[in-house]
Structure 1
Amino acid sequence: MKQIMLAIVCSFSMIGMSQSTDLTSQLYDTYENYKETSIGKRRIKRADIQPLIDKYASNEKYKVATVGKSIGGKDLSLISIGSGRTNVFLWSQMHGDEPTATQAIFDILNFFNSSDFKVEKEAILANLTVHVLPMLNPDGAELFQRRNLLGIDINRDALRLQSPESKTLKRVRDSLDADFGFNLHDQSTYYNAERTEKPATISYLAPAYNYEKDINETRGNAMKIIVFMNDILQKYAPGQVGRYNDDFEPRAFGDNIQKWGTSTILIESGGYPEDIEKQEIRKLNYTSILSAIYTIAKKSYETISIAEYEKIPENDRKLFDLKIIGANYKLMGNNYTIDLGINQVEVDYPEHNTFWYSSRILDQGDLSTYYGYEILDASAYTIKQARAYPKTLNTLAEVGALNFKDLLQQGYGFVRMTTIPGNVINSPFPIHLIGAKYKIPEFKLEPGLNPTFFLEKDGKVEYAVINGFLVDLKTESIKVPNGMIYK
């Protein structure tokens, strides 16, 4: 009899999972119908989402309330939809430079506002009330920085509640007595799934609520939801899911909200190949979060085994943007074999709407346990110093008229100018600009330096590395977003 009952339970569980899987595929395939196209870049600000909030404030399906203000006086808005007794609370951009899930939230709100998926939406909205606080740190978003104007990390302010943003988050959580919470963040693109070359495109954590890392029903339910979401992502980003270390952090909001009785799911959006603005990761957030909301509404998560949670690989941080393997490097008359790990570091323009690159060598030596989004086996190549073009030019137009591929093939990585315009922050060309009196330093590779050099084979330059970007000179393509300026 027990075996029969177990078979019945498993059968219902499989039916529930199958229904959710079908919905997931439909959500992924129809995503472009709901994507909020007005916020397609990472550097979004409070003013960018205000028209969207106003749109929902005038829509009778939604309830919109100002629940607090930031230190800088910007509104903190809560948008709610549904009539169910189970409260699901999503908050995003606690860190101002982590906007991927904020974009996905507005995609989800567009989904609820559509006439599609009627049966599924009725199941969600009849059983749940979904609340979203899309931008908790608007002052940080304005400057595209992690911390708020007080200079603190809001996610370490759950005990003292020093900042108004922290007080608002605590007050909203308490007033809702939320059953489920989605704590939405971005993580570094340099995280990988442990012992693999694959980026941790999405990482999860069911935060611990005490030092012993006990698992009660509240935390267990969060683990079940994470297992469910991981299964979804394996279809679209196989092997690209990580799991954070669950050491208890008594100051953190996620740990405390778990302790306060809300099943809390931390979601961190990491890296995805050739997805600089994280739009594919945004789509994965939309698909997996909506699917999770549906399984909460249907309660199909209840039969999921939490044992699967520990099988998700832990987060590691062993990815570079560019990894060069085994290059020959001459130093002080001796030959050495060296690996290079290079990251293409973003630097914001003053208005914090877009960025340029000032790349760095992060590490060098034996990097055999590290990985790269782009990898070059340079064991047949010798590293050569970049030289300055012999002619001094007067204007940017003159520089722009040069044949850059020819220059790179000749080993020129610098162009000297009589005067570099003062309002030009970086070189708009795939080559560095240097001032009339600038002396190129003696060539030496070390962490912290800008990676600019050539790779030569049999006396011929075949690759250039300019500002950390690899150029294959055997092809026509030169993809270097910008060079540097040295005066």
Structure 2
Amino acid sequence: MTMNLEQLFDENKEQSLYGRYITLDSIESLLNKLNTNNQLEIIGKSVLDKPIYKYQIGAGKIKILLWSQMHGNESTTTKGLFDFINVLHNGSELAKELLEAFTFCCIPMLNPDGAKLYTRANANKVDLNRDSQDLSQPESRVLRATFENFKPDFCFNLHDQRTIFGVADSGKPATVSFLAPAYNEAREINDSRLKAINLIAGINEVLQRYIPGQIGRFDDSFNINCIGDTFQYLGVPTVLFEAGHFPNDYDREETRKYIFMALISSFKIINENDIVISKFDNYLSIPQNKVVFYDFIYKNIKINYDGIEIITNFASQYKEELIENQVYFNAYIAKIGELDDYFGHLEYDGNNALYSDNHKNVPELDQKADFYLKNITKFVNGLMIS
């Protein structure tokens, strides 16, 4: 692929979208601005009666259904999706090629209530990604109706994953992970799943040039209640995208670039029909996602337990907390003791310095990560500040 994906991203990045808190208010005016030829339609309402939008563009034979923010607090792929839509509007040869080959049906925010509340679930506290059989929620029914009416050739299920995931035991974060969901309990490979597998193998080849060793493969345990498994079961090649952590990028502004690159690459691969030769082995060679990270690890810390001093380690993890329409990353102590199998996105060696804090002078689970080492080095919200 000869195009410069970095440059393409820089030229088409949607500047009005930034950070983690992306709500319906963030995208509504943008959608109206992009509605140059009646591409925009309200296809349903959320539990709290908010509009769910579909943005459909292109006149090509190959039909792609993409949906983002099924989980309200997973917004990185929404940013990447708008960056991609900007490409379709830029008048370039690439735009022309894509619009002639494909019809894109995008649901940029399936769960507007969860987006506003910054929760995974919808306003009824239901995880929409476990509701593909019951269809108990209006948002689930909207997605299913769109799937049935549009009759896609490929489905792109766009998500975020937490900072706890690494690429196997490599010590590298899983910046982007993919999955071709199973369609049955036996996790067999049929033609439709193989198309998804081959597509992921192709995307992986491209992304390895930019983030070598930072691409993971999600666990493929079968759960028919998950939307990807259901659509794969119904015979449509489905790809799960998981936007993860890039070092020091808690706003996921760097990660959105790799989501954008993955989208552009996937459509080039499909259009060039580069998914006909089995790349199953290439797919399996992508290491599995593994829970191996904490946001912070503090090693070799001296703790005084009632006069008995021990040297140990502890970890803290950010909780994303919505306070007055802003997402704050607040660090809490998450594990104390043995951490040999874990990595920290930031690691500190205390060199046997004594721990103290403004409570009991011992770290406790779920306590804010505000403490001192040797009474002089101060940590606030997990970070060393002096």
Residue 22 (str. 1) matches residue 11 (str. 2): no
Residue 55 (str. 1) matches residue 33 (str. 2): yes
Q: What amino acid maps onto 1:34 in structure 2?
A: N
- What does the per-residue CA deviation read over 1:120-175, in whole Å, with 9 as the maximum and x for residues that have no partner? 33332222211111000001111111111121001111111111111110111111
TM-score norm. by structure 1 comes to 0.76
Is the Cα contact below 8 Å between 2:332 and 2:367 reproduced in 1?
yes
**Structure 2: which 5+ residue stretches go unaligned?**
none
Structure 1 CA distance for aligned equivalents of residues 191 and 336 of structure 2? 47
Residue 67 (str. 1) matches residue 38 (str. 2): no
Structure 2 CA distance for aligned equivalents of residues 100 and 227 of structure 1? 22
- What does the per-residue CA deviation read over 1:22-41, in whole Å, with 9 as the maximum and x for residues that have no partner? 23xx1222312111111112
Residue 292 (str. 1) matches residue 263 (str. 2): no
2:347 to 365, 375, 379: 375
Describe the SS at the equivalent of 1:296: helix
Is the Cα contact below 8 Å between 2:74 and 2:159 reproduced in 1?
yes
How far did 1:79 drift? 1.2
2:10 to 18, 22, 32: 32
Is the Cα contact below 8 Å between 1:123 and 1:298 reproduced in 2?
no
How far did 1:304 drift? 5.0
Give the structure 2 partner of residue 108 of structure 1.
84
Find the structure with the greater CA-based Rg. Answer: 1
2:296 to 317, 322, 327: 322
User: After the TM superposition, which of the residue ranges 440-449 and 224-233 deviates more from structure 2?
Assistant: 440-449
Give the structure 2 partner of residue 147 of structure 1.
121
Residue 443 (str. 1) matches residue 361 (str. 2): yes
Q: What amino acid maps onto 2:42 in structure 1?
A: T
Is the Cα contact below 8 Å between 2:88 and 2:98 reproduced in 1?
no
How far did 1:344 drift? 2.7
Residue 359 (str. 1) matches residue 331 (str. 2): yes
Q: Which has the bigger relative contact order, CA under 8 A and spacing at least 6?
A: 2
Give the structure 1 partner of residue 62 of structure 2.
86
Q: What amino acid maps onto 1:256 in structure 2?
A: T
Give the structure 1 partner of residue 130 of structure 2.
156
Give the structure 2 partner of residue 422 of structure 1.
none
- What does the per-residue CA deviation read over 1:370-401, in whole Å, with 9 as the maximum and x for residues that have no partner? 001111222x2322324xxxxxxxxxxxxxxx
Is the Cα contact below 8 Å between 2:198 and 2:278 reproduced in 1?
yes
Residue 312 (str. 1) matches residue 286 (str. 2): yes
Q: What amino acid maps onto 2:354 in structure 1?
A: I
Structure 1 CA distance for aligned equivalents of residues 31 and 109 of structure 2? 11
Q: How many residues matched?
A: 386
Residue 172 (str. 1) matches residue 146 (str. 2): yes
Give the structure 2 partner of residue 221 of structure 1.
195
Structure 2 CA distance for aligned equivalents of residues 212 and 170 of structure 1? 25
- What does the per-residue CA deviation read over 1:201-236, in whole Å, with 9 as the maximum and x for residues that have no partner? 111111001101011010001011111111222122
Q: What amino acid maps onto 2:365 in structure 1?
A: P
Q: What amino acid maps onto 2:64 in structure 1?
A: V
Superposed, which structure 2 residues align to 1:117-132 within 5 Å?
118=93, 120-132=94-106
Is the Cα contact below 8 Å between 2:314 and 2:337 reproduced in 1?
yes
Describe the SS at the equivalent of 2:264: helix
Is the Cα contact below 8 Å between 1:68 and 1:165 reproduced in 2?
yes
Q: What amino acid maps onto 2:68 in structure 1?
A: S
Describe the SS at the equivalent of 1:361: strand
TM-score norm. by structure 2 comes to 0.96
Q: What amino acid maps onto 1:65 in structure 2?
A: E
Is the Cα contact below 8 Å between 1:244 and 1:315 reproduced in 2?
yes
Is the Cα contact below 8 Å between 1:344 and 1:469 reproduced in 2?
no
Residue 339 (str. 1) matches residue 310 (str. 2): no
Structure 1 CA distance for aligned equivalents of residues 113 and 58 of structure 2? 30
Structure 2 CA distance for aligned equivalents of residues 370 and 179 of structure 1? 40
Q: What amino acid maps onto 2:364 in structure 1?
A: E
User: After the TM superposition, which of the residue ranges 65-74 and 147-156 deviates more from structure 2?
Assistant: 65-74
Structure 2 CA distance for aligned equivalents of residues 285 and 341 of structure 1? 29
Is the Cα contact below 8 Å between 2:64 and 2:103 reproduced in 1?
yes
Structure 2 CA distance for aligned equivalents of residues 355 and 83 of structure 1? 39
Is the Cα contact below 8 Å between 2:89 and 2:95 reproduced in 1?
no
Superposed, which structure 2 residues align to 1:468-479 within 5 Å?
468-471=382-385, 473=386
How far did 1:452 drift? 2.6
Structure 2 CA distance for aligned equivalents of residues 365 and 384 of structure 1? 14
1:452 to 339, 364, 370: 370
Residue 236 (str. 1) matches residue 210 (str. 2): yes
Structure 1 CA distance for aligned equivalents of residues 134 and 8 of structure 2? 44
Structure 1 CA distance for aligned equivalents of residues 116 and 57 of structure 2? 27
How far did 1:451 drift? 2.4
Structure 2 CA distance for aligned equivalents of residues 466 and 112 of structure 1? 44
Structure 1 CA distance for aligned equivalents of residues 278 and 378 of structure 2? 51
Residue 46 (str. 1) matches residue 24 (str. 2): yes
Structure 1 CA distance for aligned equivalents of residues 239 and 8 of structure 2? 25
Structure 2 CA distance for aligned equivalents of residues 104 and 141 of structure 1? 16
How far did 1:301 drift? 2.4
Structure 1 CA distance for aligned equivalents of residues 147 and 273 of structure 2? 22
Structure 2 CA distance for aligned equivalents of residues 355 and 167 of structure 1? 29
Cα distance, 1:450–1:48 mapped onto 2, change above 3 Å:
closer
Residue 138 (str. 1) matches residue 138 (str. 2): no
Describe the SS at the equivalent of 2:341: coil
Superposed, which structure 2 residues align to 1:234-313 within 5 Å?
234-313=208-287
Structure 2 CA distance for aligned equivalents of residues 112 and 357 of structure 1? 34
Give the structure 2 partner of residue 76 of structure 1.
52
How far did 1:326 drift? 1.8
- What does the per-residue CA deviation read over 1:290-319, in whole Å, with 9 as the maximum and x for residues that have no partner? 110121112122235111111111111121
**Two-structure CA RMSD over aligned residues (Å):** 1.6
User: After the TM superposition, which of the residue ranges 304-313 and 164-173 deviates more from structure 2?
Assistant: 304-313
Structure 2 CA distance for aligned equivalents of residues 449 and 326 of structure 1? 19
